[in-house]
Amino acid sequence: MADIQSPLPGTFYHRPSPEDAPYKATGDAVAIGDVIGLVEVMKTFIEVKSEIAGTFAGYAADNDGPVTAGQVLATLDD
Amino acid sequence: MAISRLLIANRGEIAVRIIRAARDLGIYTIQAHSEADADMLAVRLADEAVCIGPAAAKTSYLDVARIVDAARQTGADAVHPGYGFLSESPRFARALQEAGITYVGPSADTIERMGDKVAARQAAQAAGTPVVPGSKGRIDTLDDAVATAAQVGYPVMIKAAAGGGGRGIRIAANEDELRKLAPQAQSEAQAAFGDGGLYLERALRDPRHIEVQILGDGTRAVHCFERECSIQRRRQKVWEEAGATCLDEATRQSLCASAVAMAEAVGYKGAGTLEFLYEEASNQFFFIEMNTRIQVEHPVTEMVTGIDLVQEMIRIAGGEPLRFRQEQITVTGHAIEVRINAEDPHLQFMPFPGTVGALRLPEGDGIRMDHFLYEGYQIPPFYDSLIGKLIAHGADRAQAISRLRAALQTLSIDGLKTTIPLHLALADDPQVQAGAVHTQWLEPWLDAGNLTPAATGGAS
């Protein structure tokens, strides 16, 4: 198991826009550099990219919910 | 009826500003806040505070029903919307009106009319205010295009009538170029949108952003002269001045008079701003839009006129007639405001929410700082990055810049990255000092590497 943490405090989104599907679903392959979500900080959207490769195990933070810097957003299985 | 209990439906520095203005008028203040803003300075300063919902603005500062409820529950007889959020929402103004609560601003109908770009353009034309000349409708033939261009004046911008987002825009400097470019634009529009119709508009050369502050009581209106806000990044104002030194006196008078005519024509009530583009080469100004609220950069006007705009808008909302005749409003010196944002200017202006450490604020002749900071304050990441505004007033523009520079050197906000280094570099730039800027000036200046950690001594 590995964690993907939020680089900044803000609001976390699982999807590129409300109409789109989540970036990743459980079981999806994740490569280094893959976008797994967005953090909105002060009206700016920052892409959260995975720094590790693995299999997506699920989001650990709610969609459209507040997150703190360093909070775990998602987990990967090796 | 005079206002006695004012609810502030906003946050940050403008909420602090409104509380101070209301308190000076002897009004009881009630600060609305989200769950994330319970410890903000405005909450500490107000006589009373009321929570209106979770951190996300859509469930708090943008929620009409919750704010109207909060106003009712706290017995507020008026609401000040500040800027942003619900400050230009006809629905909000109407809901308050229906609840019997005074809205500090114009009527819902005026907000609606002036908020509609086409209706505002028509209102401007009806009041005799120039707008950017363009074709009346779509253009289908080359002869049409040539005839229209002769009327609106070269250079002209050629756009697809069906397009948007700047796609396929061409600029023709004269008729020869138009005859060459219009057919290209037509076939491209046909291919892209299935419609070869074109729209022509006069292309302004290096336009400056100039705006006029007005106050109206529903019958009469006055202007508080102009501001220039040409230094912008991504259409956001960065540095603002009162007045616009590029204008000659006759043009200034005609610009301000045209803003007053338009405000009176729509029976404007409250404080408002008419925004114009000004083309120096032709000495012409064109109305672009009206903001029916107080603006971020209002302090520069206050510094040069001595008028407290926030107090005046509260008095007008309370039913007082305008307290000034036009000839009583005069300008003394020059003022500049810079926006202090929690962003790292050396890292593509990445937002930098954090905890405010040691805070050193500048003081001195002509210096004002509007902000909502205190040591230990954790800036929430949910709202915009503006944390304060530093304003410098001087006898003339050169003195205002030199006071601004000295104040920027004193100002320090530990724990955050801010736009202070950007403003220091701008204050030292020869073109800024000469006032030789326009709305497209700052971004190329940044791209050219004028702001580097070395250039500003690495100060932050």
What is the average per-residue pLDDT within B398-412? 98
Q: Mean pLDDT of all residues in chain B?
A: 94
pLDDT at B346 over 90: yes
Express each pLDDT in B1-51 by its tens digit.
799 999 999 999 999 999 999 999 999 999 999 999 999 999 999 999 999
Is residue B394 a contact partner of residue B400, using CB atoms and an 8 Å limit? Answer: yes
Does residue B124 lie within any of the structural domains?
no
Rounded alpha-carbon distances, angstroms, from residue B192 to A38, B172, B200, B432, B445:
32, 21, 18, 41, 33
pLDDT value, residue B235: 86
Rounded alpha-carbon distances, angstroms, from residue A46 to A11, A17, A36:
10, 13, 11
Structural domain of B227: 208-447
Backbone angles phi, psi at B97, to 5 degrees: -55, -45
Same-domain check for residues B192 and B230: no
Does residue B185 lie within any of the structural domains?
yes
* Single-letter amino acid code for the residue at B104: V
Same-domain check for residues B382 and B302: yes
Instruction: State the pLDDT confidence band at A9, using cuts at 50, 70 and 90.
Output: very high
Q: CATH number of the domain that B43 lies in?
A: 3.40.50.20
- Which ipTM did the prediction report? 0.86
Is residue B182 a contact partner of residue B158, using CB atoms and an 8 Å limit? Answer: yes
pLDDT value, residue B399: 98
What is the average per-residue pLDDT within B266-284? 96
pLDDT at B459 over 90: no
Same-domain check for residues B185 and B223: no
DSSP assignment letter at A35: E
Nearest to B384 among A11, A43, A66 (CB): A43
pLDDT at B455 over 70: no
User: What is chain A's alpha carbon radius of gyration, rounded to the nearest angstrom?
Assistant: 11
Instruction: State the pLDDT confidence band at B164, using cuts at 50, 70 and 90.
Output: low
pLDDT value, residue B457: 46
Same-domain check for residues B197 and B222: no
Q: Does domain A2-77 have CATH number 2.40.50.100?
A: yes
Q: Which residues of A touch B381 (CB under 8 A)?
A: 8-11, 41-42
What is the average per-residue pLDDT within B421-432? 98
Same-domain check for residues B256 and B240: yes
* Residues in CB range of B398: below 8 A, 6 or more apart: B433
Q: How many CB atoms neighbour CB A24 within 10 A? A: 23
Instruction: State the pLDDT confidence band at B168, using cuts at 50, 70 and 90.
Output: low
By C-alpha distance, the chain B residue nearest A9 is B381
Please indicate whether, in this complex, the C-beta atoms of A9 and B36 are within 8 angstroms of each other.
Answer: no
Is the pLDDT higher at B172 or at B135?
B172
| Counts for chain B of helices (H) and strands (E), in that order | 15, 20
Is residue B202 a contact partner of residue B169, using CB atoms and an 8 Å limit? Answer: no
Nearest Cα to Cα of residue B296 among B446, B107, B85, B116: B85
Please indicate whether, in this complex, the C-beta atoms of A41 and B353 are within 8 angstroms of each other.
Answer: yes
Is residue B5 a contact partner of residue B28, using CB atoms and an 8 Å limit? Answer: yes
What is the average per-residue pLDDT within B60-88? 97
Q: How many contacts, defined by CB atoms under 8 Å, are there between A and B?
A: 38
Same-domain check for residues B215 and B180: no
Backbone angles phi, psi at B438, to 5 degrees: -155, 180
Same-domain check for residues B230 and B194: no
Q: Mean pLDDT of all residues in chain A?
A: 95
pLDDT value, residue B166: 58
pLDDT value, residue B117: 77
Please give the structure tokens belonging to residue B134: 């363009």
Same-domain check for residues B427 and B319: yes
* Residues in CB range of B287: below 8 A, 6 or more apart: B120, B121, B124, B129, B130, B131, B258, B262, B274, B275, B276
Report d(CA B427, CA B169) in Å as an integer.
34
DSSP secondary structure string for all residues of B117-153 = HHHHHHHHHHTT--B--B-SS-B-SHHHHHHHHHHH-
Does residue B274 lie within any of the structural domains?
yes
Q: What three-state secondary structure class fits B366?
A: coil
Does residue B34 lie within any of the structural domains?
yes
Express each pLDDT in B379-400 by its tens digit.
999 999 999 999 999 999 999 9
Nearest Cα to Cα of residue B67 among B99, B109, B22, B111: B99
What is the average per-residue pLDDT within B348-367? 96
pLDDT value, residue B332: 98
- Long-range contacts, stretch B30-36, CB < 8 angstroms, 24+ apart: B30/B5, B30/B6, B30/B71, B30/B74, B30/B76, B31/B7, B32/B7, B32/B8, B32/B61, B32/B67, B32/B70, B33/B60, B34/B59, B34/B60, B34/B61, B34/B382, B35/B60, B36/A66, B36/B380, B36/B382
Handedness of CA B316, B320, B321, B322 (dihedral sign): negative
Instruction: State the pLDDT confidence band at B165, using cuts at 50, 70 and 90.
Output: low
Q: What three-state secondary structure class fits B441?
A: coil
Is the pLDDT higher at B160 or at B437?
B437
By C-alpha distance, the chain B residue nearest A43 is B384
Same-domain check for residues B192 and B231: no
Same-domain check for residues B370 and B412: yes
| Residue B99, CA atoms < 13 Å, CB-side half-sphere | 24
Q: Which residues of B touch A43 (CB under 8 A)?
A: 351, 383-385
Express each pLDDT in A20-47 by its tens digit.
999 999 999 999 999 999 999 998 999 9
Instruction: Tell me which residue has tokens 């806040």.
Output: B33
Is residue B327 a contact partner of residue B305, using CB atoms and an 8 Å limit? Answer: no
pLDDT at B163 over 80: no
Q: Which residues of A touch B36 (CB under 8 A)?
A: 66
Is residue B137 a contact partner of residue B166, using CB atoms and an 8 Å limit? Answer: no
Q: CATH number of the domain that B185 lies in?
A: 3.30.1490.20
Q: What three-state secondary structure class fits B311?
A: helix
**Range with lowest mean pLDDT among A1-5, A54-58, B184-188:** B184-188
Peptide bond into B357 cis (omega under 30): no
Please indicate whether, in this complex, the C-beta atoms of B382 and A10 are within 8 angstroms of each other.
Answer: yes
Express each pLDDT in B323-344 by its tens digit.
999 999 999 999 999 999 999 9
pLDDT value, residue B460: 44
Instruction: Tell me which residue has tokens 């708090």.
Output: B60
Residue B341: strand pairing partners? B386
Nearest Cα to Cα of residue B382 among B45, B17, B79, B60: B60
Nearest to A42 among B36, B56, B384 (CB): B384
Rounded alpha-carbon distances, angstroms, from residue B143 to B147, B151, B176, B194:
6, 13, 12, 21
Same-domain check for residues B198 and B212: no
Question: CA angle at residue B6 from B55 to B299, to 5 degrees?
Answer: 80
Same-domain check for residues B282 and B184: no
Query: How far away is chain A from the Cα of B444, in angstroms, using its nearest Cα?
Result: 21
Q: Select from B104, B128, B157 the last residue of a domain.
A: B104
pLDDT at B68 over 80: yes
**Range with lowest mean pLDDT among B162-171, B217-226, B233-242:** B162-171
Instruction: State the pLDDT confidence band at A53, using cuts at 50, 70 and 90.
Output: very high
Does residue B111 lie within any of the structural domains?
no
Segments in B25-89 forming alpha helices (H):
41-45, 64-73
Q: Which residues of A touch B382 (CB under 8 A)?
A: 10-11, 42, 66
Please indicate whether, in this complex, the C-beta atoms of B382 and A8 are within 8 angstroms of each other.
Answer: no
Query: How far away is chain A from the Cα of B342, in angstroms, using its nearest Cα?
Result: 9
What is the number of structural domains in chain B? 3
Does residue B129 lie within any of the structural domains?
no
Please indicate whether, in this complex, the C-beta atoms of A8 and B351 are within 8 angstroms of each other.
Answer: yes
Express each pLDDT in B174-232 by its tens digit.
999 999 999 988 888 887 778 888 889 899 989 999 999 999 999 999 999 999 999 99
pLDDT value, residue B454: 60
